Chains A and B, each alone.
Chain A
Amino acid sequence: MKILVCISKTPDTTAKIAFSDNNTKFETAGVQFIINPYDEWYALVRAIELKEADPSTVLHLINVGNADSDPIIRKALALGGDEAIRVNTDNSDSFYIASQITTIAKDGGYDLIFTGKETIDYNGSSIGGMVAEIMDLPYISHAIKFDLDAAGAVVVREIEGGEETDKAALPLVVSCQKGMAEQRIPNMKGIMGARTKPLKVVEPAVAESYTSIASFDLPPAKAGVKLVSADNPEELVRLLHEEAKVF
Chain B
Amino acid sequence: MILVFIDQQDGHIKKTSFEAASYAAKIAEVTGTTAEGILIGTVNDDIATLGNYGLTKVHTLADANLNNFDAQVYTKIIAAAAEGADVIVFSNNTTGKAIAPRLSVRLKAGLVSGAAALPDLSNGFTVKKTVFSGKAFANITVNTAKKIIALNPNSFSVITTSGSAEVVALNVTPDAAKVQVVSTDLVKGEVPLGEADIVVSGGRGLKGPENWGMITELAHLLGAATACSRPVADINWRPHHEHVGQTGLAIAPNLYIAVGISGAIQHLAGVNRSKTIVVINKDPEAPFFKAADYGIVGDAFEVMPKIIDAVKKLKAS
- List chain A positions with a Cβ less than 8 A from chain B: 11, 13-14, 17, 19, 37-38, 41, 94-95, 98, 117-118, 120-130, 132-134, 136-142, 144, 154, 157-169, 178-179, 208-219, 222-223, 225-230, 233-234, 236-241, 244, 246-247
Contact = CB atoms under 8 A, between A and B. Distances in A.
B71 A38 contact: no
B72 A164 contact: no
Interface residues of B, number: 102
Contacts of B101: 94, 98, 125-130, 133
A129 B140 contact: no
B137 A126 contact: no
Nearest to A230: B298
A240 B294 contact: yes
A49 to B, nearest CB: 18
A245 to B, nearest CB: 9
Nearest to B292: A225
Contact of A178 (B131, B142, B243, B290): B243
Contact of A225 (B138, B192, B295, B314): B295
B195 interface: yes
B295 A166 contact: no
16 contacts: A13-B247, A41-B247, A121-B132, A129-B97, A132-B102, A134-B105, A159-B184, A161-B187, A161-B193, A178-B243, A210-B143, A225-B292, A230-B299, A240-B276, A241-B314, A246-B255
A178 B187 contact: no
B207 interface: no
B136 A210 contact: no
B307 A237 contact: yes
A228 B185 contact: no
Interface in B62-101: 69-72, 75, 92-95, 97-101
Nearest to B288: A225
A74 B68 CA distance: 41
Contact of B143 (A120, A168, A211): A211
Contact of B9 (A129, A160, A239): A160
B147 to A, nearest CB: 9
A13 B266 contact: yes
Interface of B: 9, 14, 16, 69-72, 75, 92-95, 97-106, 108-114, 126, 128-133, 135-144, 178-187, 190-195, 198, 222, 240-241, 243, 246-248, 250, 254-255, 265-266, 269, 272-273, 275-276, 278-279, 289-299, 302-304, 306-307, 309-311, 314
B185 A234 contact: no
Decide if the interface of chain A is mainly helix, strand, loop or mixed: mixed
Contacts of B291: 222
B299 A157 contact: no
A228 B141 contact: no
Contacts of A94: 101, 104, 111
B198 to A, nearest CB: 7
The interface centre, meaning the residue of B126, B179, B186, B309 with most chain A CB atoms within 10 A of its CB, is B179
Given A160-B93, A215-B138, A167 B179 contact: yes
A169 B176 CA distance: 13
A158 B241 contact: yes
B296 A179 contact: no
A226 B102 CA distance: 45
Contact of A98 (B72, B105, B240, B279): B105
A213 to B, nearest CB: 5
B183 A211 contact: no
Contact of A165 (B71, B97, B182, B187): B182
A181 to B, nearest CB: 13
B142 A123 contact: no
Contact of A213 (B103, B140, B185, B293): B140
Nearest to A154: B182
Contact of A142 (B14, B94, B190): B94
A226 B295 contact: yes
B255 A133 contact: no
Contacts of A211: 110-112, 140-143
